Amino acid sequence: LGPTITAGEILVEIMSTSVGTGFLEPLTLLGPFPSGAPAIFIDQVARLGSAAGIISAVGSDDFGRLNIERLKRDGADVSAIEVLSDAPTGSAFVRYRPDGARDFVFNIARSASGQIRMTGAAKALVSRAGHVHVMGSAFAIPGIAEILAEAVASVRSRGGTVSFDPNIRKELVAGQGEARRRLEDILSVTDLLLPSGEELAIAAGLEDEEAAVHELLSRGISEIVLKRGALGSSWYRPGERIDCPAFVVDELDPTGAGDCFGATYVTCRRQGRSPAQSLRYANAAGARTVTKQGPMEGVSTFAELDEFIEANGSKA
């Protein structure tokens, strides 16, 4: 199996230790934690023992080193992460509101992550890849759409597959018109779609869940896995549906759950597991992630997932 790859932002996340609104007063902060949805995804694939690599950029600073060291330690291919001397590593400051919503201060556009390029090393990674995972969050980065399109075309020409997590975040989506066009382009080459919440309806342009699923599957998407947070997940293929209840855990930090869930589902399927078994592992990965503070701190190995499933009861 060629590596699973993605392209997109690498950041550090620094979080307020107190719940509240915004950053308009001095706060006690925790971090830096390695972060960026594409980095979390790739780290989780690697932790499961599967080949994984990311096309990205960091600054020549400790925030960049922290990320590269973590990804390398967990077994990811970091050869296509460019280290830039003229831009800092991206950062995100996060504070939770009492209702669970989050306030962010992002530094991505002017960071190294805003300057991701298809370098020689990135081309080499693409030429080896067997699967591309496209993350909606990355589309705020100039030029990333072209990089991902090139990777998708290359991998598909060799019989590889594509997964897509729309990951639509209001803070990061540029203009409505352009975002829509991009969405349609990717949906047309997607094998596995991993939406959460309202993203399914947004992708299909239909409110009703069954109608939205039917519409997207009729366009040639082979599988849809809908993430439902603390309610678990559902899997769809034409004429088939499996619902997998969530494991019951105390949620400490939801960041990264969808990325770890997606990485685990993709990896399990690529390794030949059934949809039902893959869904159960993915649910376990998502649930474990929310019990750990820090976006990349909850990534799991198969041994950890087996232990978690054993301890929390088999729900599938």
Footprint on this chain of ligand ADP (rule: CB under 6 A): 196, 227-230, 232-233, 246-247, 249, 251, 254, 257-258, 261, 283, 286-287, 290
To ligand ADP, the closest distance from the beta carbon of 284 in angstroms equals 8
In the complex with ligand ADP, which residue's Cβ is closer, 129 or 244?
A: 244
The structure tokens listed for 197 are 């919440």
Decide: 153 and 118 in contact? Cβ < 8 Å: no
Q: Is residue 310 classed as helix, strand or coil in its secondary structure?
A: helix
In the complex with ligand ADP, which residue's Cβ is closer, 63 or 308?
A: 308
Residue carrying the six token digits 């001095």: 26
Phi-psi region of 83 (alpha: psi -120 to 50; beta: other; left: phi over 0): beta
To ligand ADP, the closest distance from the beta carbon of 197 in angstroms equals 6
Residue 198: DSSP 8-state: T
Q: Name the residue among 292, 296, 297 with its Cα closest to residue 54.
A: 296
To ligand ADP, the closest distance from the beta carbon of 225 in angstroms equals 8
In the complex with ligand ADP, which residue's Cβ is closer, 240 or 251?
A: 251
To ligand ADP, the closest distance from the beta carbon of 62 in angstroms equals 27
**CA angle in degrees (0–180, nearest 5) for 304-305-310:** 100
To ligand ADP, the closest distance from the beta carbon of 165 in angstroms equals 7
* β-strand pairing of 161-165 with 131-135: parallel
In the complex with ligand ADP, which residue's Cβ is closer, 221 or 257?
A: 257
In the complex with ligand ADP, which residue's Cβ is closer, 75 or 254?
A: 254
